[in-house]
């Protein structure tokens, strides 16, 4: 089997497994790069080839990227050739960085710095609902219940559906926007979903205009949504549900972020 046939078969297997488009793209890229680096046919790839590839091409990448790369190679070779050239390769420890969170004042500045009504609504929607950017761009008008100010994510991360909330004041604005763009297949685009890159660019542009000196992305608004809910006293189990986390451990990172909650702790010295 040559490289081209291997990659074609890999694409078929990923589609059969119902993995996401993002996974399809990443898995194909990593395996193609491995072949290009080693200059070998699939059957000839061994553990040392994978190690050489990681050392030469992935040495400056994050632990998360390296883990993804190894998962891509393992899936491809174990599925197609029934072998695993990643076996025995030590996995890097995952970084435990606290995500960046905006203050409520910074959120207001970000919204007000948006140059168009559409970009303003997109930023408000991300913060109001804690949606992932991939979920936002795939949102359809029929997914929103305006009478109850809720919406439905269809086949989100892990192919799971879930309910999300919408601010009452934003709900009316979104409803009017949809009415003004009658016939659009998606809430924020006509025929096909916006690219996540487009959303990233508009948020960075608004952040620059607002003078926010933090490294932010669409996901920052999701982090801010969760943190601000926790600070206002919402139970962490409810936040877990709204974010669509399968494990409470994932949601608990926000307990480390909430400065307002920390400030409420009474210092023992003050009680003497």
Q: Are strands 144-145 and 150-153 parallel, antiparallel or unpaired?
A: antiparallel
Tokens of 8: 């074609």
pLDDT of residue 244: 86
Distance CA 246, CA 162 (A): 11
Of 120, 223, 228, 245, the active-site residue reads: 245
**84-97: pLDDT as tens digits:** 999 999 988 766 66
97 in catalytic set:
no
Of 32, 57, 157, 162, the active-site residue reads: 157
Q: How confident is the model at residue 159 (pLDDT cuts 50, 70, 90)?
A: low
pLDDT of residue 267: 67
Q: 21, 106, 2: which is closest to 11 by C-alpha?
A: 21
Tokens of 122: 């997109």
Contact 166, 149 (CB under 8 A): yes
Distance CA 30, CA 66 (A): 10
219 in catalytic set:
yes
Domain segments of the chain as ranges: 3-80, 104-262
Average pLDDT over residues 50-68: 90
Q: Phi, psi (5° rounding) for residue 167?
A: -60, 140
The residues near 34 (Cβ < 8 Å, ≥ 6 apart) are: 45, 49, 50, 53, 73
- Residue for token digits 């909330």? 165
Q: What would you report as the CA-atom Rg of the chain, rounded to the nearest whole angstrom? A: 22
**195-237: pLDDT as tens digits:** 999 999 999 999 999 999 999 999 999 999 998 998 888 888 8
Percentage of the chain beyond pLDDT 90 is: 67
CATH topology of domain 3-80: DNA polymerase; domain 1 (1.10.150)
pLDDT of residue 265: 63
Of 27, 127, 186, 254, the active-site residue reads: 254
Q: What is the pTM of this model?
A: 0.68
Look at the chain and count its residues. Answer: 272
Q: How confident is the model at residue 180 (pLDDT cuts 50, 70, 90)?
A: very high
Of 27, 120, 222, 223, the active-site residue reads: 222
157 in catalytic set:
yes
Among 153-167, 228-242, 252-266, the range with the most confident prediction by mean pLDDT is 228-242
Percent composition of the chain: helix, strand, coil (DSSP 3-state, to 5): 60, 5, 35
Q: What is the DSSP string of 39-57?
A: T--GGG--HHHHHHHHHHH
CATH topology of domain 104-262: hpI Integrase; Chain A (1.10.443)
Least confident of 30-44, 97-111, 130-144, 185-199: 97-111
Percentage of the chain beyond pLDDT 70 is: 90
As a whole number, the mean pLDDT across the chain is: 89
Q: How confident is the model at residue 37 (pLDDT cuts 50, 70, 90)?
A: very high
In angstroms, the Cα distances linking 268 to 142, 146, 263 are 53, 48, 13
Check residues 265 and 21 and name the one with the higher pLDDT. Answer: 21
Residue 25: CB atoms within 10 A of its CB come to: 11
Among 17-21, 91-95, 172-176, 262-266, the range with the most confident prediction by mean pLDDT is 172-176
Distance CA 160, CA 237 (A): 17
**110-145: pLDDT as tens digits:** 999 999 999 999 999 999 999 999 999 999 999 999
Q: How confident is the model at residue 79 (pLDDT cuts 50, 70, 90)?
A: very high
The neighbouring-strand residues paired with 68 are: none
Least confident of 79-88, 150-159, 253-262: 253-262
Distance CA 162, CA 169 (A): 22
pLDDT of residue 147: 92
Question: Is a pLDDT exceeding 80 seen at residue 157?
Answer: no
Of 219, 223, 263, 266, the active-site residue reads: 219
Of 120, 132, 223, 228, the active-site residue reads: 132
The neighbouring-strand residues paired with 144 are: 151
Contact 254, 227 (CB under 8 A): yes
Tokens of 175: 């409803």
pLDDT of residue 272: 58
Cross-sheet strand order for the sheet of 162-165: 144-145, 150-153, 162-165
222 in catalytic set:
yes
């Amino acid at each position: 089997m040559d490289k081209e046939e291997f990659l074609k078969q890999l694409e078929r297997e990923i589609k059969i497994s119902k993995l996401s488009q993002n996974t399809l793209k990443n898995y194909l890229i990593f395996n193609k790069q491995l072949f290009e680096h080693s200059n070998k046919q699939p059957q000839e790839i061994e553990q040392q080839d994978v190690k050489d590839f990681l050392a030469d091409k992935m040495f400056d990448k994050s632990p998360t990227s390296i883990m993804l790369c190894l998962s891509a190679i393992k899936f491809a070779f174990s599925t197609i050739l029934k072998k695993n050239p990643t076996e025995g390769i030590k996995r890097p420890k995952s970084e435990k960085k606290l995500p960046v969170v905006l203050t409520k004042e910074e959120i207001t500045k970000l919204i007000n710095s948006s140059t168009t009504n559409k970009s303003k609504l997109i930023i408000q929607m991300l913060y109001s609902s804690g949606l992932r950017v991939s979920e936002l761009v795939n949102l359809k008008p029929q997914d929103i219940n305006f009478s109850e100010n809720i919406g439905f994510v269809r086949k989100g991360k892990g192919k799971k559906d879930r309910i999300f909330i919408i601010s009452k004041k934003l709900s009316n604005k979104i409803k009017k926007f949809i009415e003004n763009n009658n016939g659009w297949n998606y809430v924020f685009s006509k025929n096909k979903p916006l690219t996540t890159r487009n959303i990233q660019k508009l948020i960075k542009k608004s952040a620059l205009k607002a003078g926010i000196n933090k490294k932010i992305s669409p996901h920052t608004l999701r982090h801010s949504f969760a943190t601000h809910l926790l600070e206002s006293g919402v139970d962490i189990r409810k936040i877990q549900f709204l974010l669509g986390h399968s494990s409470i451990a994932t949601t608990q990172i926000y307990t480390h972020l909430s400065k307002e909650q920390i400030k409420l702790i009474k210092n023992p010295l003050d009680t003497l």
